[in-house]
Amino acid sequence: MSKYLVNLKVNNIPVTVEEGTTILDAARKLNFHIPTLCYHEDLTVAGNCRVCLVEVAGSRSLAASCATPVSEGMEVLTNSKNVRSARKNVVELLLSEHNADCTKCFKNGHCELQTLSSEYQIGQHLFIDLVKTKDKIVDISSPSIAKDDSKCIRCQRCVRTCSELQAVGALAVINKGDHQRISTFLNKPLSEVVCTNCGQCINRCPTGALTERSYIEEVWDAINDPSKHVVVETAPAVRVALGEDLGFEAGERVTGKMVAALRHLGFDSILDTDFTADLTILEEGTELLTRLKKALVDKDEKVSLPMFTSCSPGWIKFIEHMFPEYLPNLSTCKSPQQMFGALAKTYYAQKKNINPKNMVCVSIMPCTAKKFEAGRPELRDSGYQDVDYVLTTRELAMMIKQAGIDFMKLEDMEYDSIMGESTGAAVIFGASGGVMEAALRTAYEIISGRDVPFTNLNIVPVRGMEGVKEAKVMLKDVKPEWGFLEGVEVSIAIAHGLANAKKVVESIKNGTANYHFVEIMGCPGGCIGGGGQPIPTSPEIRQKRADAIYAEDEGLPLRKSHENPEVQYLYKEFLGEPLGHRSHDLLHTHYKPRKRY
C-alpha cells in the first residue's frame, strides 16, 4: 500500500515525507539535529526523556519530536527560545539527580548525557542536588553486567531492549514518582534473575548506568607477572568492530592491527578463537550427522532433533531458564571460546612446554555473556578454569588507549601458531547465519564430495538481517557411506536476538515448524551486534560489520573449516577424530535447567 505524502515546514524549510513519519525523522531528513536520549532506532518509541522537544505552531505545549507524527501543514521549530530553555531545564533536571563523576565513569567520552550537558554548557547547577538524598544502589552481583542506579536517567531503553529484542524481561520499572527506578523481578540482584548476560541493554544505555564488569586490571596484572604465560584469543567479530573505538569508521577490518596491538600490550601468545570455530564445525557437523543417522537409519526415537547450535552463551542461559525441556537438543559442543581454553591449557601447553598452572587464558570477545560462561563450573575440563578472563571489544580498545598505542598507524602482524590459523568459514561465525554457512560448506562436501551448490561458496540465503531465516538443502548423489541421506531434504533455520530465538523454539514446540538444524545467536545480527561491541549500535552499523565479515571471508585463501591445516594437525597429533574420546573430554559438555524466578 502506498502511503500518503505529508508536507510540512521545519525551521521554515519545506519538506515532504510519508505519513506516519515522526517530526524527528523529518527534521533529520533536512539535517537538523535534535538531541535524543530515550529514543533508539532498534526500539519502540517511549517519549519519556523529553529532550527532543520541538515547538509546533499553534500548540501551547511542546511536542516530543520522537513520538509525534507529522501532519499536513505543520510548522515546526527545533531551536526556538522556548525549545532551548525547556530543553536546558530538562537536561539540568536530569543532572540534578545524576551522580556525575565522569572521571571515574566507564562511559566517560562516550556518554550521551555528557555530550548533551556539554552542548548546553551546563556548569553551575541551578537546581538542588538530589543525588545525596537517595540510596546509592549498585548491583555488581553478575560477573558480566554492572548496574549503577545513580547514573540512570530512567529512559527505559534497557527495559525495552530486554523485553522487545530479547524477550527476557529481566528488567522492569518499579515504584513511582521520586522512587521510580529500573529494577528486576522482586528487586533481586541481576545474578539471581533470568538475565542472560547478553549485554544488549548495555549497548543501548545512553549513560554509565549499565556497563560490563571490567577485568582490565586483572589482565594487566597477569601480563605484568613474569611467572605467567598469558595467552590471548580473539573472537571473529572483534576484528570488524574494534576499529570503531579507535578512530576508524564502522566496517573497517583491523585484524592485523589488532594482533600488533596485542603484541605491544605484552601478551605472550596471540592466538585466534577462529581456530576453535573451525574445530567446532568439525565436531558439531559430525554430531549432527550422527544424530541424523540415529534418527533415519537406527530409527532411534530418543534422538533430539532439531539440533541447536551452542556457541552463544546468552542463548544457553536463555534456554536453561525458558525452555529447559529443549536442553537435549543443544549441541554438546562447547563454544569456541571454551574449546579454546580447554585446548590452550592442555594441547598448547604440552606442545609449547608451558606448565598450565602458570598459564593465564584471556579471551577478547564481542560479548558480555562470555564473562559469565568462563566462570561456569561445567567448563573446567583442562583441570583449571579453562578461560581466566574475558574482555569485551570495548575493554580491549580501552587497554590499547591506556598503553598509548597509536592504533591507526600500526603495521599489520600475524597470529602465532599452533592455534592461530583459521579459515573464512570461522570468520563468518561472527555474523548471523555464519555458523550455518560454515557447517554447510563442510558437511555438504563430506557427504557428497562436492562443493556446496552456491556460487563462490557464498550461501546467500542464510545471510542477512531478517530475524528468522529458513532454508532447505536437498542432498543428492551422496557418497556411498552416506547413502541414508540420499534424497533427504535438510531443513534449517537461523535466528538472532533472543526474541527471534523464542519464536523459533515456540514454533517447534507447537509443531508449526520442523527443522533438522537451527543456528541461534543471542544478539541482533549475531556476534557483530554482541553486547560487548563498541557503542553506539544501529541496524546500519551492524550491517557494515557484517559486510566486513563477509569481505574478510572472501579474501582468505582457505574458506572451509576442514581445510584448516592446524585443525587437521590437532586431530592427528592430539584429538584423534571428531567426537573421539579426547574431544568428548575436552570439547563437549551438558547444561542444566534453571528456574525462571
When CB distances are held under 5 to 8 angstroms depending on the partner's kind, the choice from ligand FES, ligand SF4, other proteins, none that residue 324 binds is none
- Residue in 17, 43, 66, 168 binding ligand SF4, rule: CB under 6 A: 168
**Is 333 an annotated catalytic residue?**
no
Given the rule CB under 6 A, which of 1-9, 103-111, 295-303, 416-424 is the region that contacts ligand SF4? 103-111
Tell which phi-psi region holds residue 519, choosing left (phi > 0), alpha (psi between -120 and 50) or beta. Answer: beta
First-to-last CA distance in the chain? Answer: 45
* Whole-number Å distance between alpha carbons of 395 and 407: 14
- Contact between 153 and 107 under an 8 Å Cβ cutoff? The reply is no
Residue numbers 324-343 binding ligand SF4 by CB under 6 A: none
* Whole-number Å distance between alpha carbons of 224 and 238: 24
**Is 373 an annotated catalytic residue?**
yes
Please tell me which residue in 97, 252, 283, 287 is annotated as part of the active site.
287
Amino acid, res. 19: E
3-state secondary structure 376-394: CCCCCCCCCCCCCEEEEHH
Q: How far is the CB of 60 from other proteins (least distance, A)?
A: 7
Q: How far is the CB of 97 from ligand SF4 (least distance, A)?
A: 11
Residue numbers 36-65 binding ligand FES by CB under 6 A: 36-39, 47-52, 64
Residue 1 within binding range of other proteins, rule CB under 8 A = no
**Is 378 an annotated catalytic residue?**
yes
Please tell me which residue in 18, 72, 119, 378 is annotated as part of the active site.
378
Residue 158 within binding range of ligand SF4, rule CB under 6 A = yes
Q: Which is nearer to ligand SF4, 27 or 62 (CB)?
A: 62
Read off φ and ψ for residue 243, nearest 5 degrees: -55, -30
- Contact between 423 and 272 under an 8 Å Cβ cutoff? The reply is no
Residue 366 within binding range of ligand SF4, rule CB under 6 A = no
Residue 155 within binding range of ligand SF4, rule CB under 6 A = yes
Residue numbers 10-49 binding other proteins by CB under 8 A: 45-49
- Contact between 441 and 468 under an 8 Å Cβ cutoff? The reply is no
Amino acid, res. 20: G
Q: How far is the CB of 43 from ligand FES (least distance, A)?
A: 11
Q: Which of the 8 DSSP states describes residue 127?
A: S
Q: By C-alpha distance, which of 44, 562, 85 is closest to 282? A: 562
**Is 437 an annotated catalytic residue?**
no
Given the rule CB under 8 A, which of 81-89, 112-120, 311-319, 418-426 is the region that contacts other proteins? 81-89
- Residue in 17, 83, 113, 339 binding ligand SF4, rule: CB under 6 A: 113
Residue 118 burial (C-beta neighbours within 10 Å; 0-12, 13-18, 19+): exposed
Dihedral over alpha carbons 597, 378, 315, 209 (to 10 degrees) = 70
Residue 595 within binding range of other proteins, rule CB under 8 A = no
Please tell me which residue in 147, 370, 469, 502 is annotated as part of the active site.
370
**Is 205 an annotated catalytic residue?**
no
Residue 171 within binding range of ligand SF4, rule CB under 6 A = yes
- Residue in 153, 425, 436, 443 binding ligand SF4, rule: CB under 6 A: 153
Q: Which of the 8 DSSP states describes residue 330?
A: B
When CB distances are held under 5 to 8 angstroms depending on the partner's kind, the choice from ligand FES, ligand SF4, other proteins, none that residue 52 binds is ligand FES
**Is 311 an annotated catalytic residue?**
yes
Q: How far is the CB of 162 from ligand FES (least distance, A)?
A: 18
Residue 99 burial (C-beta neighbours within 10 Å; 0-12, 13-18, 19+): buried
Strand partners, 176: none
Pairing of strands 359-365, 145-148: unpaired
Q: Which residues contact 269 (CB under 8 A, 6 or more apart)?
A: 229, 230, 231, 232, 348, 352, 416
* Whole-number Å distance between alpha carbons of 454 and 76: 52
Give long-range contacts, CB 8 A cutoff, 24+ apart: 103-109. Answer: 105/151, 105/208, 106/208, 106/211, 106/212, 106/214, 107/151, 107/207, 107/208, 107/211, 108/208
Amino acid, res. 494: I
Q: Which is nearer to other proteins, 86 or 367 (CB)?
A: 86
- Residue in 87, 88, 107, 370 binding ligand SF4, rule: CB under 6 A: 107
Q: How far is the CB of 157 from ligand SF4 (least distance, A)?
A: 4
Please tell me which residue in 105, 205, 361, 527 is annotated as part of the active site.
527
Query: What's the maximum distance between 2 C-alpha atoms anywhere in the chain?
Result: 81
Residue 536 within binding range of ligand FES, rule CB under 6 A = no
* Whole-number Å distance between alpha carbons of 363 and 374: 9
**Is 287 an annotated catalytic residue?**
yes
Q: How far is the CB of 129 from other proteins (least distance, A)?
A: 9
Residue numbers 94-133 binding other proteins by CB under 8 A: 94, 96-97, 126-128, 130, 133
Residue 196 within binding range of ligand SF4, rule CB under 6 A = yes
Interface with ligand FES by CB under 6 A: which residues?
36-39, 47-52, 64, 66-67
Interface with other proteins by CB under 8 A: which residues?
45-51, 53, 60-62, 64, 67-69, 82, 85-86, 89-90, 93-94, 96-97, 126-128, 130, 133, 153-154, 156, 172-173, 175-180
Catalytic residues: 284, 287, 311, 331, 370, 373, 378, 527
Interface with ligand SF4 by CB under 6 A: which residues?
98, 100-102, 105, 107-108, 111, 113-114, 145, 151-158, 161-162, 166, 168, 170-171, 182, 195-201, 205-210
